[in-house]
Structure 1
Amino acid sequence: MYLRACIKQPEKREKHLFRKEASKVTKFVFDEDIYKLIVEQLDVAVITDKNGRYVYVTKSWEEYYGIKLEDIKGKYVRDVFPTSRIHEALETKQSLIGIPAPLVNEKQEQGFCSYIPIIKDGEVAAGFIHVIFHSEKSALDFSKRLNAMMDELNYYKQEVKQLRKSKYSMDDIIGKSDLVLDLKEQIQRAAKSSSTVLIEGETGCGKELVAHSIHHLSERASKPLIKINCAAIPSELFESELFGYEYGAFTGADKKGKKGKFEMASGGSLFLDEINQMPLVMQPKLLRVLQENEVEKIGGKESIPINIRLIAASNTSLEKMISDNTFRSDLFYRLNVLNIKVPALRERKEDIPLLVDHMIKKFNFQLGLSVQGIHSNVIEKFREYEWPGNIRELQNVVERGMNMALTGVMEWKHFEAYFENKSLRHVERHKKNGDLLIKQAKKNLEKEILLESLEKYGSNKTRCAKELGISRTLLYKKIKEYDLKV
């Protein structure tokens, strides 16, 4: 704390009193070297209450003026020094700098006072008086050193801000399929809004990429994107992680307290991944935060206003969870303002060649390998697999294959061990026998459902696509694929 750093250590009783009073005044965060530098330059300092009465003085102040704190504590400063201007600073809420300090006798060295009102929530909370006796040269030298340190501190602050920004952009979403193009359109629309976004999709399909892309394209891109995985936090720590806590809120709490993720994301975006794993008891608390735009720390007495854009992701249907009484319907409706469904890899297998090519380049760089590519027959076999782990599984398979090959072109032998017990072998056998009954049955069912929906809504493709849970772009693609007359 600035005020605490600007005084010398008082006696134990006075130290307790000062901390009690100063904690009501204000809080500042300074680099350690900076406040040490400031302390070294201070000669005398005074703390007053909001009415201009003495609360604390430094030992050097007592030595300079020959007055003990116990003799003046609670008295008005103007009653002790009629020329003091602390009352003017407190009344106007404006600092007065470089005012000649009051002298007790002519033998004293002339000093210069700074009268500083301490403001909290728009109101005066206390006063601070600081006297400097150094020469102009040393004052200028101090100013230069302080400014240099502040510049260095600001540089590192900017570096931290860069690290807290979004890690990915929409360029990291690889693919040219209709589903991917439609997904990118939805991301761009969501980025133009500040409404809450719910991203749904299977594990490993790229929901985090979507969240990062929305933040990166939004007006909040220069502010932090704070990420939290709801599945990775023990239920008993959930509230403190999201909302933070004050000192003494519970046994083992940090003496400095702790900021919650909502505070850390101020001005930016908060990404709650796997929100379906959020404990039921926490859900109404999150709902209140979203409705009131304020949080209250554990052990805190005041609400803290927040300005964040919430992005949530779920790898399971929240609507199904509502029916199972494991997710609150009111929270779901608050989250589901903008909804983005990320397609599974099996739904866009035409993107596999592009994805694999991108992964080869990435892993060559990361692992120091020189793999030149992958054989076309391997890509064909990849297309026959259903990829239950989605892009994350594909990435794992490609990395394994590259570590097997090390260089040159990857062939099926580099992947055969992985697929040995997978369903790919069954598909391969059926293909050899000319028996693809399951795949054909799936297509027939899909065509039948499309026909029923088209007959129901006629020319209204928007309502048809909505009922089927797909985009208009994909609907037109399916109509063309099955050569349906509409």
Structure 2
Amino acid sequence: MIRERRNKAKLELYYDKFVTEGVIDPNVHPWVGESWQRSQDAGVGRETFRLAVKLSGEELSKRRERYNQALTFLDGLYDEIKEHFTTYNLSMLLLDQELYVLKNYAMPFYQKTAGELEGARLSEEDIGTSSIGVAYRSKVPFLMFGPEMWIKDCQNGDACSVPIILDNQVKFIVTVVSVQQEELPYSAMVAMVLSIKYAMEQHLKLLSSLNAKHTILDAVPLAVYHILPGGEVAYANKLGHSRLSGIVPLGSEDKEEGPNLSTVLLNYHHTPIYKGFLGVPSYNREATWITPRKTYEDITTVVPLAGDEGDVDSIVTVTMPIEDLRTLVAHTAGYTARYSLSSMVGSSQVFTAMQDKAGRTARHDYPILLQGEPGTGKQRLAHGIHQAGSRAAGPLIAVKGGDLPSDVLEIELFGRGGSEAEGRPGKLELASGGTLFIDEVEKLSTVLQDKLAEALEAGFLFRAGEAVSRPIDVRVIAASDTELKRLVEKGVFSARLYEIISRAVIRVPSLRARREDVPNLAAHIIEELATLHNLPPKELAPDAAELIMSYDWPGNIKQLQGVVEQAFFRTTGTTISRADIVMPGEQGLSKAWKEDKAAFIEAWKAAGGNISRLANMLDVSRVTLYRYLKKYGLDKE
């Protein structure tokens, strides 16, 4: 609150009347009178300006570092007006939101030097009534005259304090004290302090907004640049700086100024950036950047920024390395590990030995070969190894050797060349930075085996129909249902590929080799089913557990899964008994479903409407089931 000049002789009388009689004259400003009363009640001394609470040098240094932006701004502003302070014997303080003095500018403050004052707390409970305390409490500027101050040592000067408010909270207090009021008009001092308040608030708000924007830009998986005419980089976000550090000319890495792209991009005049300065925007275009050090391929957007006269003043460029885009797409598509090594169930010696070896091997980065009978859990083990390794943050891409014809599988693995619309990366490229899991690797054609071995040895590949080499960085985990070494000896599997993928071999035991794990595996399957379908938990009766443990399980865990799922959905109660379990080879669900819609619907309900589960229950393929769904007019969902 900015007040008119007051008669100081009268103010002295009002002050004396209060301290001697405890009476607040009606002419005393209410905020001042209330502060006098609180100061007296708190027992604050009236004679001497004491600094009872003060930060240590280390604590003050930390606060100054925290509030560096405010200090830097006020330092710069004071440098411009310090002659004014010297001429009129003004002093100025910057206090933080807890009213600790961060810095003392210009003249001593009430006979206190900067060394004495900086770090001291100047709250109402410390020094009684002052413009600092009133401005802080009221959240408005306040001009206080000398006789209104609580401490007599401070009554020879007038003070004006302003709160610096950000987000509706007092963040700082700036206070200016004048001891030569006759030479400096109050209006001039007040105008100066209000100007400081406005400028400082606007500056800090702008910095806060910029910091938020910088944080956002640094968090996005994109390189963002603001580029001036001629190719000079005026701004780059965190990823942008990282990219630039790889293309600046050798020997200039320590220079603070950004690089000039026209000098470091050998094909600058053929890039979207150059076209942007001609007023031509580009959106999500594949661009090649050729530098003396490396060639980059990005997906690039360039937006020209027009000046007042309509000419292009600068451009904003947003790019994403194609390899990063592939990784992002892979993650978005769900190409991540769904299982950990600890999620695999078993306590038998042969199983725990395999699990321990997998954990040790996962820490290295070389290829791994998983060998075991069909259905033993090789895919789940591959997921666990990926998640336990250094590439866990990268994608996990899977391909099955026997799923597709050889020519189609080649494109699936290596990609297809061609135009921007026709070309696409293969799974080897998509897996860069992560893991490629090749299931049934023995079913790859010998031609494809040799081509895969060549790419893994070289560290780059060629897409089908293309002569451009593309780098790859993948860890291969291969799985085989048969003994690969024997296939190599027979000449039906590539010795070259076998040598690469068999650096570490993990043999996954069959269920008959670890019968004691079967009940726990079944219990785990039941728990997963109950959770997945939000159904009450069920348990195996002892006779049911004994039954499944006595079987050889030639189809291993996959076969066990099908039998347990049937029993789970057939059982109406919470206990799965021996009678609820239909073992492989026994009479299962009626075959009437092939001709009778009602029988099919009953089986469909028993499977909970899940295609994969029904396929296991009926021992048919998913393709067959889709045909019957269509035949009976049922919704596959």
TM-score after normalising by structure 2: 0.43
Q: Deviations over 1:69-121 (max 9, x none)?
A: xxxxxxxxxxxxxxxxxxx853354999xxxxxxxxxxxxxx99999997325
- 1:373 Cα deviation from its structure 2 partner: 0.8
User: 2:518 aligned with 1:348, yes or no?
Assistant: no
Change (3 A) 1:403 1:187: same
Aligned 1:72-87 pairs, distance under 5 A: none
d(CA) in 1 for partners of 2:574 and 2:497?
52
Residue 267 (1) aligns with residue 267 (2): no
Match of 1:194 among 346, 349, 365: 365
* Higher Rg of the two aligned structures: 2
Which residues of 2 match residues 435-454 of structure 1 at below 5 A? Answer: none
| Aligned pairs for 1:52-91 within 5 A | 90-91=262-263
Among residues 366, 390, 401, which one is paired with 2:556 in the alignment?
390
Whole-angstrom distance in 1 between the partners of 2:366 and 2:471: 17
Shift of 1:324: 3.0
Would the aligned equivalents of 1:89 and 1:115 in 2 still touch at CA under 8 Å?
no
Partner of residue 445, structure 2: 279
The one-character-per-residue Cα deviations of 1:352-373 (angstroms, maximum 9, x if unpaired) are: 1211111111111223433521
Q: After superposition, what is the alpha-carbon deviation per residue over 1:109-148, rounded to whole angstroms, capped at 9, x for unaligned?
A: xx999999973254899xx998643559xx9xx98xx99x
Distance 1:295 1:118, change over 3 A: closer
> Which residue number in structure 2 is paired with residue 60 of structure 1?
none
Match among 212, 216, 226 for residue 383 of structure 2: 212
CA 1:417 to 1:386, structure 2 compared with 1: closer, same or farther past 3 Å? closer
Counterpart Cα distance in 1 of 2:518 and 2:473: 39
Report the residue type matching 2:516 in the other structure.
E
Q: 1:124 to 1:295 in 2, by over 3 A?
A: closer
Instruction: Give the superposition deviation at 1:334.
Output: 1.8
Please report the RMSD computed on the Cα atoms of aligned residues, expressed in angstroms: 4.0
1:401 to 567, 574, 578: 567
Distance 2:328 2:569 in 1: 39
Q: What does residue 177 of structure 1 align with? A: 348
Q: Which one has the bigger helix percentage?
A: 1
Deviation at 1:157, TM superposition (A): 4.7
1:162 to 1:242, Cα distance in 2 relative to 1, 3 A:
closer
Partner of 1:19: none
Consecutive unaligned residues in structure 1, runs of 5 or more? 1-44, 47-87, 97-110, 148-152, 249-253, 423-486
Match of 1:296 in 2: 462
The reply to whether residue 309 of structure 1 matches residue 448 of structure 2 is no
Map of 2:32 onto structure 1: none
Q: Give the Cα separation in 2 of the matches to 1:89 and 1:370.
A: 64
Cα distance in 1 between the residues matched to 2:568 and 2:302: 68
Which residue matches 2:628? none
Deviation at residue 277 of structure 1 after TM alignment = 0.5
Counterparts of 2:418 and 2:348, CA distance in 1:
53
Cα separation, partners in 2 of 1:329 and 1:159, compared to 1, 3 Å: closer
Q: Which has the higher contact order (CA 8 A, sep 6+)?
A: 1
Which of 119, 128, 149 is equivalent to 2:289? Answer: 119
Taking the TM superposition and a 5 Å limit, the aligned residue runs for 1:101-120 are 119-120=289-290
Structure-2 separation of matches of 1:346 and 1:129: 62
Q: Distance in 1 between matches of 2:439 and 2:295?
A: 42
Letter in 2 for 1:91: T
TM-score (norm 1): 0.56
CA drift at 1:241: 1.0
Q: 1:310–1:157: structure 2 CA closer, same or farther, 3 Å change rule?
A: closer
Cα 1:121–1:364, aligned 2, differ >3 Å: closer, same or farther?
same
Q: Is the 8 A contact 1:405 1:414 kept in 2?
A: yes
Equivalent position of 2:576 in the other structure: 410
Check conservation: 2:345, 2:517, Cα contact below 8 A. Answer: yes
Partner of 1:4: none
Change in Cα spacing, 1:239 to 1:413, as seen in structure 2 (3 Å) is same
Q: Deviations over 1:345-404 (max 9, x none)?
A: 111011112111111111112234335211101111112110001011111111000111
Return the alpha-carbon distance in structure 1 between the equivalents of residues 501 and 552 of structure 2.
30
Please report how far the alpha carbon of residue 201 of structure 1 lies from its aligned counterpart in structure 2 after TM superposition. Answer: 0.4
Q: Structure 2: which 5+ residue stretches go unaligned?
A: 1-228, 231-259, 270-276, 319-323, 589-637
